[in-house]
Structure formats: C-alpha cells, structure tokens
Amino acid sequence: MSIRIEESLGVHVRALELRMQRSEILSANLANEDTPGFQARDIDFASEMRQLEGSAFSALGRSTDAGLQYRLPMQPSLDGNTVELAVEQAEFSRNAMDFQTSLTFLSMKFQGLKQAIEGR
C-alpha cells in the first residue's frame, strides 16, 4: 500500500505557504510605512483556506495575488499612506506565531509518518 504524501500532510503545507506569503506582504507594509500614497495590503487567510478546502490540492501552485485586499486605516494619513505601524506589527507578530503553530503541526505529521514507516 502506498502513502500519498499530499494527503498525509493535509492542509498544513498550504497553510505554511500562505503564512510565508502573508509575512512578505506584511513586511512590505512595514517597510513602506513612510512612503506617501502606499496602500497597505493583506491576505484574508481564513478565506484562502476555505477556498483550498473546496478545491483539494489543486491550489498548491496558485498565486494568492487575487486574494490580496487593501487594508482600511482607522486613522488615514494626510499623504495617502494607509500603513498603521501598530496594526501591521500586531498582524506580523500574530502571523509569525501562527506560522510556528503550522510548522509544529507539520512536524508532528512527519513524526507520525516516520513512526508508521518504521513500524512503531
């Protein structure tokens, strides 16, 4: 009996991929905090994961550019920049913790597969 790695790992691989992409987007927001007219963007992680649920693993290679949304600022800047430092830092930190959680789940899956292969 063969083991399909994609099925064994579940959605954890895609979750890590989305977390990495979100991290890049949030860091770009932070880097452009002082850029006039810069529009902060983000990914709706829950929505992206729901789309994945319906499409199985066919979405693994797709870009999330379509899932990018502009962030609405609580206090708009006079120069048109929508980056709010506290919001972006909080989202970046939350995303980093969620990334670590997803990585832990994936690591546990690998440990389980290793034990199954070794017959333990």
Closest CA to 50 of 71, 27, 67: 67
Question: In this model, does residue 95 exceed pLDDT 60?
Answer: yes
Model's pTM, two decimal places?
A: 0.79
The per-residue pLDDT for 65 is 62
- For residue 32, the enclosing domain spans 1-116
The per-residue pLDDT for 64 is 47
Q: What is the mean pLDDT of residues 14-27?
A: 94
Task: Quote the mean pLDDT of the chain.
Answer: 85
Q: What is the pLDDT of residues 32-76, one digit of tens each?
A: 999 999 999 999 998 888 887 776 544 444 454 668 999 999 988
Q: Is 56 exposed, middle or buried (0-12, 13-18, 19+ CB in 10 A)?
A: exposed
Split into its structural domains, the chain has a count of 1
Q: What is the DSSP letter of 120?
A: -
Residues 6+ apart with CB under 8 A from 91: 26, 42
